[in-house]
Structures are given as structure tokens and as C-alpha cells.
């Protein structure tokens, strides 16, 4: 009996040894593949950087076509890597790092796995959706007075109609542009949008990954949308208070004929509130006059574009980040040409770790100065992760919340005083509340919109809703989560998404914005706690704190080598996930003020169901 037991144990040990060896051999095979794939991937990055970026300002059609041919060659290589990675059985891989490497490599083909369908159809669809906002196809509102010289030429949503929303207080004019732009783009938007949704389904099927896993591929998270739902639950009470206050002010301004004092806010007025948050004449003007805001643009009036960049770089150097090298300064950092500076110039970032190319705007104002603090986070992030295998260069888009956290610190009165930009201005409590309220409307009113836009795609891709019912579903979500209704009854055929819904759709931009806003406040609070500052959170500055820089570098250097949750744990060790509490703490003074105002005015918190038809 004892001999039999020894034999059984011996045999068991041999079998275990065999399986461990087999598993180790399989892991070794994966490791060799991943190393070779990383080398191929890295060469492709360099090729894109050298050949594609150089054509960004290329007007010669033949040259552009040559570059497109190059992109196709690169795409084919990426697809090969994806398909080869898909041949490995993830269940046999024991090493968590190698398993994550395979998961990343399976997705490097992106939508390129569609082959010629991508280049001949999907690229055109994506470009068409982006052009919806810039096509001059809307006739001016004849009753309005906001067009210069009453020009009757057709106008585009961006920047023409957007500027009208920033200045107009005529609800009929705003309603006209809201409806007309959607009517003009109904067919074009629906056809192109449907094609892209189908492209994601098809690409996921080719790569043999669940379609939602492919859609949230940046986060490599089993159920990332549940993180977003949790945040919405946390911020809902505060949002409903702000919603009630804003609706009350809109009702005082426009009356019962324009909106129901207990119902959802019509979308054209909701958009007006968002675009006028930092303009004179907004709905909070009675309480927080625009003229009493700090003269922000005056703070940077002596800056030229490069001096503004240098000042931003000083912030990062104070945290212990290295200075820019000569290659970045001489070859990768460029100023936009004159043509690009017509209208509202926007900086361009082209991120190809370890190289990041940036084109900055010639004009300097305070808003662009702050935005540059966010842009440079991507440059430093790329430098910190440059020594990783290229298959973990992706960093869960954490560059964006890092940038948000730096902006929150750089825009504080404490920081502006410390670096001498606001030396001639005294920040009073009224000034701080004015700034905080305008920031709060811009941030807290946007978060439910980013959520709804994400959920629309989530529900379309997983089959919860079909295309022929998407508009009704969209307005259900807008009412449920944002307390917003259409300005008028909508037809069965309507597709009422705003133009920003389509921005960088293939990159899941709306989810990226949601995460950036929420996680940015979490990072900011963690850095403030690290700085041990006693001031209110909304006036904390972590400039010159090397411990903050150490934590940032620790996270940045990981890329996507570890899971999303383990990566952000380098900054949020106690509770690594998406949470709304930091954002609520930041805006607590203004939320308390609103709560008291709502009680005094005996306002309804929440909203009744809309009486508008939302289509079939």
C-alpha cells in the first residue's frame, strides 16, 4: 500500500513536471514571438514617423498617394502581427505579462484587418463624418443679427454656428441651427455611421475578440463600462442640483413657451449653457459677473508661442522631468503655418512613441497656454516609456488624465501667483467662486454627455438596440442621464447626434474624454495629498514637488506592461479605479452654494418625462 502511494505520488510529480515544462515551453515560444513582433512593430513606428508625418502639409496629390501606399504596406504588416498573435492559445499561457503582450498584439491591426474595405470605404466614412462640422451647407437664420454684415452665404457648424451659440440669446435662432444642421446631414451621417459600426463588428470577428472588448481595447479591461456607470451614480445627486439651478435660470430668461420649469432642458439651450460657460451673458451672470473674473489673457500677454511652451516645460522640470532634447526641439516641435492659424487654431499632436511631434499655435491666450500643459504630458509620457517593448507602448490613454491634473494645478491662483503671472491681481473669495462655477458647468455638464455617447456605441455594438431604433434610444439616454430633451418633436428617420459625437469615432474619443475628466481629478487630488497642502482642493498647486514627479514617472514607465488597474495604482494605491468623489470634492463649495439656492427657491430636483416625440 505504501509502495503504491509512493508510485502514485511519483507519477503525479512526473505529470506535474511534464505539464509545467510544457507550459514553460509554450511561454518561451510566446516570449520569442513577442520579442520579434516588438522589433517589427518598432520599425513600423519609425517608418510612420519618417514617412507619414512629413506629408501632413503635403499638397501634391501624387505625394499623398505615395504616402497612402506606404500606409497600406504598414497596415498589412500590423495585420500580420495581429493574426499571428491570434494563433496562440491564451489559455495555455502562464506568464501574465506574456498573456497581456499577446492580447495587445492581437489588437495592433486595429481596423486595418478589414483590408481594402478599410481603405476604400471606412476611411472615407470616417473622413465624411469629420467633415460634417466644417461643411458650409446651412443657410443663415434670417431673423438673427449674429452674422457679421448679415452675410447670407451658407455656414458651417464649426466655427460659424458654434460662435453663434457662444453669443446668441435668441432661442428661436438656436433652435433653427440645431434643427437645420441635423436635417442637412441626416442621410450622410446615418449612412457613414452605420458603415463604421458594422466595420467594428467585422473587425472584432476577424480578430476573434468580443466586439466590446475591441471597442474598449485601449483599456484592456473586462468590463470597463461598469466603471463609468459607477461614476455616474456617484455624481448624479450633484448633477441634478446643478441641472435644477440652470433650468430655473433658463426659465427666468425664456419663460414657459421655451421650456418646462420641471422638465428636461431642451438640447439647444443645454448647448448654449455649455458654450457660454466662459462668456459674458451666461445664465450665471447675475450671481457671478464675467467682468469680475481675473484678466486671464492679460496674464500671458507678454508671451510669444515658444515662451509659452518654455513656461509649461518649466512646470514639468520642477517635478523632476528632463528637459527636451535637441531632436525634439529641432525636428519634432514646429509652429503651425499662417493658414492653420486662421480662425481658432488647435495644436496638433502626433504620438509615435518614443517620438512625439507637436505643432503649436502662434497665437497665445490663456486657454491655449493651459492646453499646452496637457499636450506636453504626452511628450513626457512617451519619453518615460520609450525603453519598453513596443507592444506595451500603449498606455491606456493615461496621458490625458495626467494632462488634466497638471492643468488643474497650473490654472490655480496659487500657481499663477507663485510664477508671477498674477502678481498685479488679487484673488478674492468671490473671484474663486466665479471661476469655480464656470469650471463646474463646463465639466459636470459634459460628463453625462460623454457617458451617453459611449453608451450609444456600447448598446449598438452589443445588440441591445438596432440602428432603426437608435434615435429613440439616444433621447431616452439623454433624458435619463442628462435631463435633456430635443427642441422639437423628432421624426422616425432622424439621427440627432451632435457633431462632437463623430469626432475621432474610431478611437472611442467620447470614452477617452469621460475618463480624462474623472481620472484627472483623482490624480490631481492624489498629487495634492502628496504635497500636504492645507488649502481647498480647488486651489492646490503641486508645482516643484519631486515626490509627485516620482509617482508620475513610476506609472508612465509601465506603459501597458501591467493591467489598467495596477498601472493607475502607482498614483492611486488605495482605490485604483474610476470614482467621482475627487471631482465632487473639488467643486464642493459651488455645489453647496447651489444646494442652498435651490432650497431657497423651492426648486424641483430632477425632471419630469419629456413631452416631445423622440421618433420610432
Looking at residue 119, its pLDDT comes to: 84
Go through 354-390 and write b for each residue having 16 or more CB atoms within 10 A of its CB, e for each that does not.
Answer: bbbbbbbbeebbbebbbbbbbbbbbbbbbbbbeebbb
Give the contacts of 282 (CB within 8 A, at least 6 positions apart).
273, 276, 290, 438
CB neighbourhood size of 330 (10 A): 10
Cα-Cα-Cα-Cα dihedral sign, residues 372, 548, 357, 398: negative
Half-sphere exposure of 381 (CA within 13 A, CB side): 28
Write the burial class of residue 72 (CB in 10 Å: 0-12 exposed, 13-18 middle, 19+ buried): middle
Alpha-helical regions (H) of 132-258: 162-167, 171-207, 211-215, 224-254
Go through 514-552 and write b for each residue having 16 or more CB atoms within 10 A of its CB, e for each that does not.
Answer: bbbbbbbbbbbbbbbebbebeeebbbbbbbebeebbebb
* Vertex 585 angle, CA 583 and 588, to 5°: 110
- Answer for the pair 336, 359: CB distance below 8 angstroms, yes or no: yes
User: Could you give the CA distance from residue 106 to residue 538 in angstroms, rounded to a whole number?
Assistant: 42
| Terminal Cα-to-Cα distance of the chain (whole angstroms) | 76
Alpha-helical regions (H) of 276-365: 296-299, 305-318, 326-327
- DSSP assignment of 394-457: --TTTHHHHHHHHHHHHTSHHHHHHTTTTTT----HHHHHHHHHHHHHHHHTTHHHHHHHHHHH
- Answer for the pair 180, 487: CB distance below 8 angstroms, yes or no: no
Write the burial class of residue 423 (CB in 10 Å: 0-12 exposed, 13-18 middle, 19+ buried): exposed
Looking at residue 103, its pLDDT comes to: 86
- Answer for the pair 34, 105: CB distance below 8 angstroms, yes or no: yes
Residue positions in the annotated binding site? 219
Cell matching residue 226: 461598469
CB neighbourhood size of 135 (10 A): 17
Residue positions in the annotated binding site for chloride? 219
Half-sphere exposure of 495 (CA within 13 A, CB side): 21
Q: Which residue has the cell 480662425?
A: 343
Dihedral Cα 518, 283, 414, 535, nearest 10 deg: -70
- Answer for the pair 59, 404: CB distance below 8 angstroms, yes or no: no
Phi and psi at residue 49, to the nearest 5° = -60, -40
Helix (H, G, I), strand (E, B) or coil at 357: strand
Give the contacts of 3 (CB within 8 A, at least 6 positions apart).
none
CB neighbourhood size of 2 (10 A): 6
Number of residues in the chain: 616
Q: Which residue has the cell 438640447?
A: 267
Which residues lie across from 348 on neighbouring strands? 359
Cα dist from 144 to 35, 161, 199, whole Å: 63, 12, 41
Q: What is the mean pLDDT of each run of 10 residues along the chain (616 residues)?
A: 41 38 77 92 75 51 57 86 92 90 88 89 89 93 61 90 95 97 92 94 91 89 89 98 98 97 98 96 94 96 95 98 91 74 71 84 94 95 92 92 98 96 92 96 97 97 93 97 97 90 93 97 97 86 97 96 94 96 97 98 97 78
Cell matching residue 579: 470614482
User: Could you give the CA distance from residue 487 to residue 266 in angstroms, rounded to a whole number?
Assistant: 5
Which residues lie across from 352 on neighbouring strands? 355
Dihedral Cα 331, 334, 339, 342, nearest 10 deg: 170
Cα dist from 290 to 89, 435, 563, whole Å: 61, 9, 45
DSSP element (H, E) containing 333: strand 333-335
pTM exceeding 0.85: yes
- Answer for the pair 325, 386: CB distance below 8 angstroms, yes or no: no
Give the contacts of 602 (CB within 8 A, at least 6 positions apart).
none
Q: Which residue has the cell 474663486?
A: 432
- Answer for the pair 381, 354: CB distance below 8 angstroms, yes or no: no
Give the contacts of 597 (CB within 8 A, at least 6 positions apart).
245
Looking at residue 71, its pLDDT comes to: 76
- Answer for the pair 276, 282: CB distance below 8 angstroms, yes or no: yes
Radius of gyration from C-alpha coordinates of the chain: 26
Q: Which residue has the cell 510669444?
A: 304
Amino acid at each position: 500500500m505504501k509502495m503504491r502511494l509512493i508510485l502514485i505520488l511519483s507519477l503525479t510529480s512526473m505529470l506535474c513536471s511534464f505539464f509545467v515544462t510544457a507550459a514553460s515551453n509554450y511561454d518561451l515560444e510566446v516570449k520569442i514571438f513577442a520579442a520579434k513582433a516588438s522589433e517589427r512593430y518598432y520599425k513600423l513606428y519609425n517608418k510612420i514617423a519618417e514617412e507619414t508625418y512629413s506629408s501632413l502639409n503635403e499638397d501634391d496629390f501624387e505625394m499623398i498617394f505615395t504616402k497612402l501606399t506606404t500606409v497600406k504596406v504598414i497596415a498589412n504588416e500590423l495585420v500580420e502581427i495581429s493574426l499571428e498573435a491570434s494563433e496562440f492559445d491564451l489559455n495555455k499561457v502562464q506568464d501574465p505579462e506574456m498573456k497581456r503582450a499577446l492580447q495587445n498584439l492581437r489588437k495592433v491591426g486595429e481596423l486595418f484587418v478589414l483590408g481594402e474595405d478599410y481603405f476604400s470605404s471606412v476611411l472615407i466614412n470616417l473622413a465624411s463624418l469629420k467633415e460634417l462640422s466644417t461643411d458650409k451647407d446651412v443657410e443663415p437664420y434670417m431673423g438673427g443679427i449674429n452674422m457679421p454684415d448679415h452675410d447670407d452665404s451658407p455656414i458651417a457648424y464649426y466655427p460659424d454656428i458654434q460662435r453663434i451659440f457662444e453669443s446668441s440669446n435668441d432661442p428661436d435662432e438656436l433652435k433653427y441651427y440645431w434643427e437645420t444642421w441635423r436635417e442637412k446631414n441626416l442621410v450622410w451621417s446615418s449612412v457613414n455611421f452605420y458603415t463604421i459600426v458594422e466595420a467594428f463588428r467585422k473587425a472584432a470577428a476577424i480578430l476573434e475578440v468580443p466586439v466590446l472588448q475591441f471597442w474598449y481595447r485601449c483599456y484592456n479591461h473586462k468590463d470597463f463600462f461598469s466603471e463609468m456607470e459607477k461614476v455616474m451614480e456617484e455624481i448624479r445627486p450633484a448633477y441634478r442640483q446643478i441641472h435644477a439651478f440652470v433650468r430655473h435660470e433658463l426659465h427666468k430668461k425664456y419663460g414657459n413657451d421655451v421650456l418646462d420649469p420641471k422638465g428636461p432642458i431642451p438640447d439647444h439651450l443645454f448647448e448654449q449653457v455649455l458654450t457660454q460657460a466662459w462668456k459674458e451673458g451666461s445664465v450665471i451672470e447675475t450671481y457671478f459677473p464675467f467682468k469680475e473674473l481675473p484678466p486671464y489673457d492679460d496674464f500671458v500677454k507678454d508671451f510669444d508661442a515658444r515662451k509659452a511652451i518654455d513656461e509649461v516645460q518649466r512646470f514639468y522640470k520642477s517635478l523632476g522631468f528632463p528637459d527636451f532634447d535637441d531632436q525634439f526641439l529641432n525636428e519634432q516641435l514646429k509652429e503651425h503655418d499662417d493658414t492653420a492659424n486662421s480662425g481658432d487654431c488647435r495644436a496638433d499632436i502626433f504620438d509615435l512613441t518614443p517620438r512625439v511631434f507637436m505643432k503649436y499655435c502662434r497665437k497665445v491666450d490663456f486657454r491655449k497656454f493651459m492646453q499646452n500643459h496637457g499636450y506636453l504630458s504626452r511628450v513626457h509620457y512617451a519619453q518615460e516609456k520609450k525603453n519598453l517593448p513596443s507592444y506595451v507602448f500603449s498606455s491606456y490613454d493615461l496621458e490625458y488624465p495626467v494632462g488634466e491634473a497638471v492643468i488643474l494645478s497650473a490654472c490655480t491662483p496659487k500657481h499663477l501667483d507663485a510664477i508671477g503671472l498674477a502678481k498685479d491681481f488679487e484673488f478674492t473669495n468671490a473671484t474663486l467662486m466665479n471661476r469655480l462655477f464656470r469650471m463646474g458647468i463646463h465639466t459636470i455638464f459634459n460628463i453625462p454627455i460623454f457617458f451617453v455617447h459611449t453608451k450609444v456605441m456600447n448598446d449598438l455594438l452589443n445588440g441591445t438596440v438596432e440602428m432603426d431604433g437608435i434615435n429613440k434610444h439616444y433621447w431616452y439616454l439623454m433624458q435619463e442621464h442628462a435631463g435633456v430633451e430635443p427642441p422639437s418633436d423628432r421624426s422616425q428617420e432622424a439621427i440627432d447626434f451632435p457633431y462632437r459625437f463623430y469626432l475621432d469615432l474610431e478611437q472611442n474619443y467620447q470614452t477617452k474624454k469621460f475618463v480624462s475628466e474623472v481620472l484627472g481629478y483623482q490624480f490631481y487630488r492624489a498629487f495634492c495629498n502628496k504635497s500636504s497642502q492645507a488649502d481647498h482642493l480647488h486651489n492646490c498647486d503641486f508645482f516643484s514637488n519631486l515626490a509627485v514627479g516620482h509617482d508620475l514617472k513610476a506609472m508612465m514607465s509601465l506603459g501597458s506592461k501591467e493591467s489598467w488597474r495596477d498601472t493607475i495604482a502607482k498614483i492611486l494605491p488605495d482605490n485604483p479605479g474610476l470614482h467621482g468623489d475627487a471631482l465632487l470634492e473639488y467643486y464642493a463649495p459651488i455645489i453647496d452654494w447651489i444646494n442652498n439656492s435651490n432650497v431657497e427657491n423651492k426648486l424641483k430636483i430632477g425632471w419630469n418625462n419629456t413631452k416631445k416625440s423622440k421618433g420610432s
